Structures are given as C-alpha cells and as structure tokens.
Structure 1
Amino acid sequence: MGSVGDNARVIAGRYRLDARLGRGGMGVVWQATDQFLGRRVAVKELALDETLSDADAEQQRERTLREARAAAQLRHPHIIVVHDVVVQNDHPYIVMELIEGGSLAGRIARAGPMGAREVARMGIGLLGALRVAHAAGVLHRDIKPANVLMEDTTGRVVLTDFGIAQVSGATTLTDTGSFMGSPEYTAPERMSGERTGPESDLWSLGALLVTAMTGESPFRRDSIGGVLHAVVYDEIRPPPAAAPLLPVILGLLERDPQRRLGTVEAERLLRTYVETGRMPSTPAGRAGGQPAALPVAGPGGYSPTYRDLPVRRPGQSAGPSRRRRRAMLIAAALVAAVAGAGVSAALLLGREDNGGTPPLPTQSAQTKTVSPSPSPTPTVTVTRGSRTPKPSTPEAPEGYRVTKDPRGFTLAVPEGFTREVDGPRVFYISSGGTFRIGIKESAPEPGGPQAVQRRADAKGPENNPGYRDGEVTETSHNGRPAALWQFTWDGFTQAEGARHTYDLCWEEGGRMFDVWVSAPLDKAREGRRYFDTAVDSFVRR
C-alpha cells in the first residue's frame, strides 16, 4: 500500500487518491480523501479496454457510467453507498463509502466456514439489498464472497462492486461470444446466454450461502469446463454442513428460474431460522415450486437434491420445461465450445492482475478476452478455436514449452529455461540467470495464503537485501483463496542490480503452492508476463 504524499493525485478537483487498496481487471481501488467534506472515501478508477476503437471505447464508457449512476440511486444499509461518479481526462471514477474491513472471501480464507445463524443473518441482509436493487431494475450479476464486505466495527455486511451490474433485460452473452461473471456463482440461464432477471442474482446468493457454510463453492471444479458442467447438469448436493439452511439453499439453486425461491420467501425462512433455530416447512405447489419439507443430510453425509423430491407444481409434467431444455442445449454448446477451444482451462480463467500487464495472447482463432472482475474470483472468457488440448495438460503459448516436472506438476516455461532444484524449491532459470521462475509445494500453514504472504513480507528486509515496496494483495487462483506478494529488492550482488519479484500463494487439494518470478527491475514487465503464464498454466498432476 502506498503512502500519502504532496504529489498525490486529485481528481475532479476534490478527491485525493491517498493509497491503493487493490487492483483487478476492471480497475484500481484507492483509499481517498474527499477534501471538500473532509471524509475518507473509496475511489474505483475504472480500467477501459485499450484495444477498442474510439467509438466502442466511448460506448463502453457511457454504459459504465450509466450503470454506475443507476447503482448510485440505490439506498439500503447492505448496499455500498456510491457518493459520486466523475470523469477526468475521459477516464471514469466511482466514489464510494470506505468500508473498514475485509471481504467475505478473506474471512472464509482466514477463519474457515461460518455458523448457520451467522450465515442466515448475512443472507437476510443481502436479500434485502437485492430486493431494493431489483425493484429499481438493477441486476448485480457478480454476487460472490469477494464482493461482500464485512465491516470490522459493526459486523455489517455490504454488497459492493456493481461494476458489471446491468439494468435488467439486457443480454449477458454478447455478440462477440464473451461472458462476464464468476462461473462458480453464475446461474445456468446466464451460462446459456439467455436474457436474465432478478432470479439469476438469487441463484448466485444460494451458491454464496453454501460457500460461507462449507468453505467452498458447490460448483468448484478443476477446470472451467467442469464448472460449466456442474452448474448446468450435475446433481446439486450441498455438503452436510449446509443442512441447517438446506430448504433455502436448494430453493435458490433451482435450475428453472420460474421455480426458484423468491426474495420474500427466502428472507422469511431465514428470519424464522435465526429466531427459532429451526427451518420452517414451505407450502408445496406455491409459486417457486418448493416442497413442503426437505430432508436433511442422511447417513454417510448424503444431501438430497430436487431429483430426490417428487413435488412438482400442479399441471406440470415430469420432464423439464421446453425453456429449460433449450437452456440446457445452449449450455451444452457453450461447454463444448470451451472444451474444444485451443486454450487451456487455466488460461480461460481470468485472475487479479496486480501488475497491470495483460495476459499473453493465445494461438486460438476468434478470441475475445473480457477483463476479469475487480475482485478475486475469476471471470470467464468463452473462446472459440479448433484444437483440443489433452486433458489436464496446459497449452504452451508461442515461445514456451510444456514441462512435466518430476515433482508432480505441469506448467509452461519459456524455451531455453533450464531446471534447477534447491531443497523443496524447483527453479526454471533463463540463460545467465536473468529471469527465475520458482515453484514450491508444502503443507498448509496457519492463516492460509494471506497470512503466509504477510509473514514473508514482514521478513522481507531480513531475506532480501534492500527490500522495499512490498505489497500483499488478497486474490484468488482457480476460485481458491490466494495472496499475491510483490516487492523490489537490490539483488544478491551489486552487479546483478535491483530486481522485482511476483509471488502467488494458494491452497489446493490439501497442499499449499507457491509460484514466483524474479526479474531485473527494468525488465519487470517481461517478468510479469512469465509470471502470469506460469501461474495460469500450472496444473498439479
């Protein structure tokens, strides 16, 4: 995090950008000072796609501002307050209240799953927020743990980042074949490219409630194709830990939007649970199609799904509706397009880009990349190509090769890099040692990736001569909590000169992984490209 200085930028003649709080594909979030009112605020500096034509860039800017202004009209205790929307030098900024506290994603990563009553209270607040937004015709479209803030002093939960929010009625699968959102929290009808409404946000909330209670999204898989298949086809079986709120969860995760549990009913059920500790039955046959009673997890940890429940609405046939069959067919084509694309699943998943360097272009034809959401959970880019990579094998961009390391992982490394081993660490090093890619696998450590990186940052001066500009950012990797640590240091020798290091840490399959790249300071941008490719192509075998 930077420090306040005399030359701090001031936008709109009023908001002084004091320190950077985080960075994502949609822009940078700053801690700022409203010099007119003398209060601290958060300012999101929105990133615009520099590859667009002037006309398309102007259209994107106007759409962004229109949607931000719509979000600014929303008033609810659990919706982030938007104070102002300004433009300076053709660049849009959103000025918001500053929430002192981390995200739900960070809370889960640090402390693990939450209790059922705490999750129910959170759900009530978020349902109230969505009710207000939907009444105003605003859809959020990216509800996930990283977009829920938790205020330290009050415990208030706040729904933030309406950055890809959209006025209801607009499509979500664009003419270019691009898709925005976080796949593990995206409703099947949105995956299918159908016109969506408030029900899609409610599906996302259902997935979020499961994550809060169990520590993991119910649709987490090892590849984007797996995620899409899980959302559209797989039986939905929340883990036993979700049993106390199962009627609400299964109601929200109903694949048919017309049968999905509504805001009012979901809030009623959660309030009753908070007050009594018991989940009431829901009347069969009502709009929303929920059964009169849902069984909880049985022997062996089995959790029921709607396929286990014979209840259906009066006059409804046993098979799926024509609308749902159409959605499933479109989604099947979408899954097939992703599975057949000439890009590895890891490269299809966007990540936090804290270094400002775009990912390397792929070799697939007709590719349109969508910037990831400003929070840690990844976005999807639907890419159409011709070649099909081998399962679980990353595809090497031009100038790279895929290496299957003896330590049990696979990744793409630049041609000419050679392998070296130093205890538990594996290095791939360029000629002369200019660039160094490091990989380490270890047992999980207390506090998770964020705590590990913060401890490393604290020991930075001890382990890295001339350590400076250290920064740890909460992010995610393949949908799992992660932390990015980057810093500058003097190098091991005077002749070597100053260097910059990018280091990503995450947990997967009960193990902790660390991937980093060290590069000369004047070649940090090139080092960032090596880093992004190493992380995006990394596969544990």
Structure 2
Amino acid sequence: MHQLLIAGRYRLVDLVGTGGMGRVWRARDELLHRDVAVKEIVPPVWLGEAERDDLRRRTLREARTAARLSHPNVVRIYDVVHDRDSPWIVMEYVESRSLQQILAVDGPLSPARTARIGLAVLAALRAAHTAGVLHRDVKPHNVLVATDGRVVLTDFGLATFTGGDAAMTGPGMILGSPHFVAPERARDGISDPRTDLWSLGATLYAAVEGQPPYARDSAMATLSALATDPPDPMRRAGPLRPVLTGLLQRDPWRRLTAVEAEPLLRRAATATPAPTRPAAPDPTRPPAPGPTRRAAPDPAGPAAERAAPAGRSGTRARRGQRVAVGVAAAATALLAAVGTGLAMAARDRSEREPSGTGAGIGPTRPAAAFACVAAPPAAASPVPSVPPPPGARFRLVPGWTWYTDPTGFQIAAPIAWLHWTEDAVTCFREPGGTRVLSVEASVARADPVAWWRAEERRLTGDGALPGYRRVDISPMDIFDGGAVWECAWLNPAGERVHTARLLANTSAGRAYTVSWLTKEFDWQVNATYFPMIRQSFTPAL
C-alpha cells in the first residue's frame, strides 16, 4: 500500500501517524506536484455497520465544514474524497513535530514557550468556534510545531458530529483521549466551545508539567478522578498557573472564556523567570565550602519583599504573604504583592463599615446582597434592544442586548427585562419571574476573597440567609483582581435560589459586583449565561 494512489491523484508515500480514528500519510499530489497529508478514516472496531456508514457521512460533512476555516494556526483542508469504501481527508502537509513528540523527546516546556503555543492554539479555536466548528479532540498529539516555529492545530472537524456523540459511542466509550476530555463531556456527552477550552487547558498543563492534569494508570481511573478530584498540583507552571486554573474549572460556567484566557496567556508568554535568592547564612556555623547554596524561589517574589517593612515585622509580613499566595494560587499574579496583614486589616475594616457612600461611587454596604429582589417599582422600564456598540468583541446570544449605564459601565442584559436603580445598584429583573441580574459600584477591596468570606459570616450570622449552602468562594483573575461567591439559600417566599456574585476591582480604587440569581432548580441552565455576562462587562472609565 506504500505507493497506493487515492482518488487517482494522491499517491501515498509514508505513514506519519496513527490514531483511534484513522491513519495519516504523507502523500504526493500528482496533479499539483506538492506534498500533502492524507488521513484515512478508520472506524473503531466496536461500531456496527450502520454506525460506520453514519460515521462516513458525518465525517465528510464535517470535514467540508472545517474546510471553510482559513487561519494561519489551522491546518488547511484541501479535499475530501471517498475511495476503497473509506473517507479520506486531504490536508496541508506541515513539516513538524507534534507537541506530544516534543514532550517525549525534549521533556516539559518552559511556561513562556507553553504560553506562546497556547496563544496559537487559542487563536485557532476562536476562529473555528466563530465558524461553528468544534474540535472535541484538542490534545498534544494534534498540536503541531513546524520547523519554522509555526504552531498549527490539526484534525479539525474529524471528531465533530452534528448530532452529538451519543449515537457514535459504544457502552462506556468516549471519543477522544480521556486525559484531555472535559468533565461535562465525559459525564454527559455535552460539547460546546467551553469543552474545547478545557482540553486546551489540559494540553498546556501537560506541556509545562510533563504529564496531563489527571495522570492515572487507566482510562477508568482517569475518568473517575476527573469526576471528583481537583487537577494534580502544579509544580512548574509559574506564571501559567492562573490561566491553567481558570481553564480547568470543572463547572463550565466558571471556566475562563477565550477572551479572558488570552491576556493571561500573553502575560505568561512575556513573564521573566523569578530570580533565585541566596539562602540566609546561619550565624552559628561557618559557611560551607563549595558553591553557594540558593533557596527555593519565593512565590511572593521581590515585589512582596519590597511591600513588607524591614526587621522582624517585615519577616512576619513576608511569611504571611506566602501563605496568602498559597491559599489563592489561582490568582498568584494578582495577589502576590498583597500582604496578609493588609488583607486582614481591610477585611476587619470592611466589617465595621456603615451604610453610606464611599468616594462618591456608591455604598460600602454588602455588595448587592439582596438588591433587586423586591417587586420592581412603577418607574421600572423594559430594556430595549440596541445595535452592538463599536468595537464589540463578540456577538450576544439571542434575546440579549448591550446595555450602557448612565454611570458609564457596559454589560449584556436580557431584552425586555425590567430595569431600574436602587441607590448604587442597577437592577434587571425578568418580568413575572425570579431571575435577577444586578451591578453595584463600590470601593475596591484589598482582598476580594476575604471580603466575600466576611460577608458570608456576617449574613449567615444575622440569619439573613436561611438554608444557606456555600458552593464556592474563590479568586478570579479579572481586571485588577476579583473573586466569585456562589451560594444558595431560601428566599422569603420559601423558594430555594442560587446566585453567583463576581466582585471585580478596577482602577482608581473602584470595584463592581455583578450578580446573577435564579431559582435553584433552574441554575444549571441559567449558569451558562454567566460567562457571557462577565465577559461583556466593561467598567466605567
């Protein structure tokens, strides 16, 4: 089969790769006299004949869809042919090594190089998602690094089925590598752009750490860990830690969007390695001969050292900063220079703050704790549908529009929902329903996680949240630092409600709290809107 001619035009030369869905050959296009890559689709052995026929039809249809993509980080598809009872995909041939081959030969990559590869793959995914194409099999094997440094993502559309995976998988079978399959896809077969972003995070994790985030001995053990455990600890990620943590969130609505991930990857791509510092000498013994020993890098970095005062109190402050950084690992880049003493002081001060205004930008009371839940006032007006503003970065889902507040902030809001203000809170409420979106301006919080924990203690201590259940309080890398508080409780009508509240610090000492509240029963469906809400939010200048 070495010199087999496919479709009377493509002569197979060398086998360059194999996978669960087929074989890839380097071939010669006899018509245009150029090298191409040809993938032969080989259905899994567990598929019945009817499913094999369906696979062939879907593969051809989806490959044609992927052929519409034209992007420098996407392997171009030239042709789709049917020969010898199998579909064949003719693609651009890239002289390269896969990321998997690089890791196997050279070992883990540096955080900066991993981030540069991540930016290229992210750009490819954004182009594909805009065209309505999902990848569903992002992994190191499908990321190619060319000899000239170009990074391309291959196998677009080859594992994408319009009708979903359910009809194509046997009992207990999942298309794609278990090490790089998003939790919701492994659990429910759900695929959307967010599942591709989880797989991107797992791929970059493997690149910088040398193994995937759930490295287990078997596929079953991997899937079991994926369902319940956090990713394995990161030891080499450094400046990549925030974006990897954000992409590998188990809940899709908590996961970073492509727009949110890009600046974090750019920051990691240009970050300089933290310098090591000499260990402090022991005054009770003479220095040991030989090379000078060096202490492990301090995750708080030199900035934390400058922030702490000299002397014994400075030592305590630096030690406290390292503890704070360890607790808020997902936001290391944002919180490294914040001392624990400063954070605790800010929290204690916030608990004592009375109602009123701060710096002329809104109250310092609990950020939108119960705002907008009462019946809308008579002056409430429906949100009109307006054209996208100039420079809009993405399209909103149907039924939503862009809202620009008189105070200057901008956010996506549901069309025809009732809109009004309560003090410094802008309210959007579903007519005749319980869903509420709100935005409140306030002063910046030195430690957003500590602020939410203080609010939780205060409100639960006052009995204001009957039936309270915390889901999570965790940092989020947004603007100048933030945190999200997700919880559920019983409202005055006895209904169980669920909310996510994002506190985001911005410049000039400002902060905003963006809250999204629904009935607990409806949360799983409505939580999918929250990434769009937070991605659309633009604070006032």
TM-score when normalising by structure 1: 0.51
**Residue 235 of structure 1: SS of its match in structure 2?**
coil
What's the counterpart of residue 361 of structure 1? Answer: none
What is the number of residues matched between the two proteins? 305
Say whether 1:15 aligns with 2:10: yes
Give the structure 2 partner of residue 231 of structure 1: 226
- Find the partner of 1:73 among 68, 71, 78: 68
**Matching of residue 183 in structure 1 with residue 178 in structure 2:** yes
SS for the counterpart of 1:240 is coil
Q: 1:30: which partner in 2? A: 25
Q: CA deviation at 1:124?
A: 0.5
Structure 1's 50 and 229: CA in aligned 2 closer, same or farther, altered over 3 A? closer
1:168–1:116 Cα change, 3 Å: farther
Aligned to 2:244: 249
CA contact (8 A) 1:173 1:179 kept: no
Structure 1 residue 243 displacement after superposition: 2.3
Letter in 1 for 2:233: P
Please tell me whether residue 156 in structure 1 is matched to residue 321 in structure 2. no
Is the deviation greater in 236-245 or in 257-266?
A: 236-245
CA contact 1:31–1:41 (8 Å) conserved in 2: yes
The structure, 1 or 2, with the larger RCO (C-alpha pairs under 8 Å, 6+ apart) is 1
Partner residue of 1:197?
Answer: 192
Alignment correspondent of 1:527: none
Counterparts in 2 of 1:87 and 1:169: CA distance versus 1, 3 Å:
closer
C-alpha separation in 1, matches of 2:125 and 2:60: 20
The one-letter code sitting in structure 2 at the alignment partner of 1:27 is G
Give, as a single letter, the amino acid of the residue that structure 2 aligns with 1:88: D
Aligned to 1:116: 111
- Say if 2:165 and 2:175, in contact at 8 Å, map to a contact too: no
| Counterpart selection for 1:309 from 455, 463, 474 | 474
Is contact 1:256-1:324 (8 Å) kept?
Answer: no
Over 3 Å counting, the alpha-carbon distance change for 1:174 and 1:325 in structure 2 is farther
Q: Match for residue 138 of structure 2? A: 143
Secondary structure (helix, strand or coil) at the match of 1:95 reads strand
Name the CA shift for 1:324/1:183 in 2 (closer, same or farther; >3 Å): farther
- Whether the 8 Å contact between 2:51 and 2:168 is mirrored in structure 1 is no
Letter in 1 for 2:155: D
Alignment of 1:453-472 (within 5 A): none
> Within 5 Å, which residues of 2 pair with 1:49-448?
54-152=49-147, 154-162=148-156, 164-166=158-160, 170-171=164-165, 176-177=170-171, 178-275=173-270, 277=272, 309=474, 313=484, 316-317=487-488
CA distance in 1, matches of 2:199, 2:192: 12
Distance 1:184 1:325 in 2: 28
CA distance in 1, matches of 2:228, 2:170: 25
8 Å CA contact 1:43–1:96 kept in 2: the answer is yes
Aligned residues of 2:66 and 2:157 also touching (Cα < 8 A): no
Cα separation, 2, equivalents of 1:51 and 1:269: 42
What is the deviation of 1:115? 1.0
Letter in 1 for 2:180: Y
SS in 1 for 2:91: strand
Give the RMSD, CA atoms, in angstroms.
Answer: 3.5
How far 1:14 moved relative to its partner? Answer: 1.1
Structure-2 change in CA distance of 1:27 and 1:10 (3 Å): same
Distance 1:44 1:74 in 2: 18
- Residues 60 and 87, structure 2, Cα contact 8 Å, conserved in 1: yes
Structure-2 change in CA distance of 1:224 and 1:275 (3 Å)? closer
Q: Which amino acid aligns with 1:126?
A: V
Give the Cα separation in 2 of the matches to 1:51 and 1:272.
45
Taking the aligned partners of 1:85 and 1:204, their CA distance within structure 2 comes to: 27
Residue equivalent to 2:37: 42
Distance 1:179 1:34, change over 3 A: same
Structure 1 residue 78, shift from structure 2 partner: 1.0
SS of 2:238's equivalent in the other structure is: helix
Structure 1 residues 208, 325: CA separation in 2 closer, same or farther (over 3 Å shift)?
farther
Distance 2:58 2:146 in 1: 30
Structure 2 unaligned regions, length at least 5 = 275-329, 337-448, 450-470, 477-482, 490-497, 501-519, 526-541
Task: Write the distance in 2 (CA, Å) between the matches of 1:198 and 1:191.
Answer: 15
Identity, % of aligned pairs?
Answer: 45
Measure, in 1, the Cα distance between the counterparts of 2:199 and 2:523: 21
Q: Which runs of 5+ in 1 are unaligned?
A: 280-289, 297-304, 328-541
Alpha-carbon distance in 1 for matches of 2:84, 2:69? 27
Deviation, 1:99, is 1.3
The CA distance in 2 between the partners of 1:143 and 1:94, in whole Å, is 18
8 Å CA contact 2:159, 2:175 repeated in 1: no
Offset, 1:247: 0.9
* 1:468 aligned residue: none
1:165 partner letter? A
Q: Distance in 2 between matches of 1:22 and 1:194?
A: 27
Deviation at 1:218, TM superposition (A): 1.4
Q: Secondary structure at the match of 1:249?
A: helix
CA-to-aligned-CA distance 1:135-156 (integer Å, 9 cap, x gap):
111111111111111111x111
Whole-Å separation in 1 of the counterparts to 2:18 and 2:142? 14
Preserved CA contact (<8 Å) 2:40 2:88: yes
Q: Which amino acid aligns with 2:229?
A: D
Please name the residue that 1:347 is paired with.
none
